[in-house]
Structure 1
Amino acid sequence: MAVLNFDIQDVDLSNGGVAKSVSLSGSIDASTNQLFESQLDDILSSGTNRVMLVLTKVKYINSTGLGTIVKCVDNFREQQGDIKLVGVPTKVIALFEMLGLLALFETYDTIDDAIASFAEGGDGDAAPVQPTAQFPIQFKHPKSGMALNVTQPGRFKDPRSGDYFSVDQEGKIEFYEMSKIKMVDIKVPCEEHYGESLLSLTEAVTVSCGLGSIAAEITAAVQLAWTGVATNAADPLETCNVIIVGDQNKIQVGFMSYGTALDMRKDDPILAGLGNKLDDLRHVDLPNNGHLLTLVKNAQH
């Protein structure tokens, strides 16, 4: 059974306010999630509405844990507070990037940076970014069809469905239904023969999400990507974290490495070949010289 430990400290802010730092160690999954949520609920109930959630020593967060973080951030903001994430492990940042969740959180490298953001009111003296889209924006919930209206960019919660969504400066809308996500997270040696296992896992997640019709396409893309990973890896001991995330709308497969396996140029033939097989392909740099390659295949409607 997973273990989750808490170190909770009071923090005095320079503007006279008080916050709490909550340092976690262990895992946030089905066995620890209730404890995690109750601890944050207790802090909010006690009258503290500003928290720094330090994730440096968190080894694993599953989709349930991610959904709880989103929920708790929303609860704190409803009480005119916030939860700032500190020291988020690169692998979790990669997962946030894949799921589009970075727009929902404020993340900081150090607790001092998070403390300063609370003291300054979050944005300091930075001038607000002007939206390029025309607001208000009206649209329908993708599942219920109910009308929604937003007057400015930001992060929101649909009061009817309880789903969270964000709208960026360009008017792009992203919904988050964490409870419906299936996820596999595995570390794999960068050797060609491990590709067969990745294909099997990808197919299993795809089928379990009811997307069997795209299984052949996404597994073909995974096979091509893994060929590139195995070819580029200069160190025989190099490993790659592979994150497979699926729901009823799409399958995403993320490859994360700190070595040469994903050190690809924009004109790399592997990337060109993948672009022809997928609905979206992202190759981004991560903190600490890491790279993330994300393959996305949408459901066929």
Structure 2
Amino acid sequence: MLIFELTADMDGRGLAARLTECGAASYVVSGECPRVVCECGDSLRFRVAQLVAGMMTREWLQLRVVQRVCRLEPLWPVEEVQFHALVEICESRLQRRPVGGHTLEEWQALLARAMASQFGRSVCVALEPLARFRLHRVVVDLAERVRDRLLASALEDEYEESLAMLRYLLDEHPSSGAELHVYITPESVWVTDAEGGVVSDAQIERVALQDDEVTSEDLAMTLLITRSPWHIVVHDAYPDAPWPSFAETVVRVFGDRAVRCSGCAICCPNRPRAASPKRRAFGRRSSRGVRRRLTQEAESAPGAPADSQWGEG
């Protein structure tokens, strides 16, 4: 006879049903400390250990990961934490990603062997302390991954809100018949007209100079929205830019009006490069909040020209 001590949040009836299906007689004893009593022969003991270890590396593991993340990140809704924990555990299992040094299948096998060894020394096994000791590294590692998922999800939501705001501002400007080119490099971003002349706007630049955090991306996006060209060619010489890249942002804001360059001296550094237009002296630091404010201020600034002339090349 084997006796498994459970905690109140463990599914004793589910465990008993699984043990019965494998041929062991089992039942639940209710009480302050629920127990599952299992009667089986020696030939079934390792199979029983595998089933119990499977429950601990699935239901129990997910529950403890959620509890740890909620304790570390109390502002996140529990339902969202549960969703990301389930996705992370399922992906780790299906893709056989190492967690804490082993795959989840390997952790389950290690726990099953430890449990089978415990059966030989004691008929009563407290599952919670055993799993906490054996799976501590797994819980910690998975909790950190779930926290990363939550952060990534929040950043993606913020990005989508930023895109929606930029599209709204774009809709407020009537489309012009201009064609503009956006050049993106690891050092800077700049905009030219179809003939290669750098596009600038004195009003926007005056607003930009009042804030040290404004970047060349902020200036370029503001120019594109206020000009509202019918066609934009994106020359992306920074394909490894951190997400979200400026090239992706331009394409997603302007939709069919923006196309990526199929290859030129800027986009393909291995080709002979012609003299590039003069660039603006602003850094590339990400500043979506500044971009929103800059766009709004440039639009509402008194005396702002309704239809600025193209800058000289």
TM-score scaled by length of structure 2: 0.17
TM-score scaled by length of structure 1: 0.18
By percentage of residues, which structure has more strand? 1
Larger radius of gyration: 2
By percentage of residues, which structure has more helix? 2
